[in-house]
Amino acid sequence: MRETSIDVQAQLKALRLNGMATAWADLTEQGGDTTLAASRWLVEHLLQAEDADRAMRSIAHQMKSARFPMHRDLAGFDFSVS
């Protein structure tokens, strides 16, 4: 149990959720292993969801700031104008 709590704490710190990392450390030190074991899967899924959401927001931000030109294909091009 202690090994997985270190992983959760490391993931919280990696996501810069320092308050939650401190609270997780406090909970593991207090004991309550049955409560933590029962809810660990939820915390892990929430961490994965947060990590995925941050990655998607980062990609969306990069795509928006890149300002790619609008894609046009030859089928819609009007050759008579040019």
Question: What pLDDT is stored for residue 62 in this prediction?
Answer: 92
pLDDT greater than 60 at residue 1: no
What is this structure's pTM?
Answer: 0.64
Query: How far apart, in whole angstroms, are the C-alpha atoms of residue 8 and residue 65?
Result: 33
Question: What pLDDT is stored for residue 5 in this prediction?
Answer: 54
DSSP track, 5-71: HHHHHHHHHHTT-HHHHHHHHHHHHH--HHHHHHHHHHHHHHHHHHHHHHHHHHHHHHHHHHTPPPP
pLDDT tens track for 3-59: 555 588 899 999 999 999 898 888 888 877 777 777 888 888 999 999 999 999 999
The answer to whether 14 touches 48, Cβ cutoff 8 Å, is no
Q: In the 8-state DSSP scheme, what is residue 74?
A: G
> Where do the domains of the chain lie?
2-60
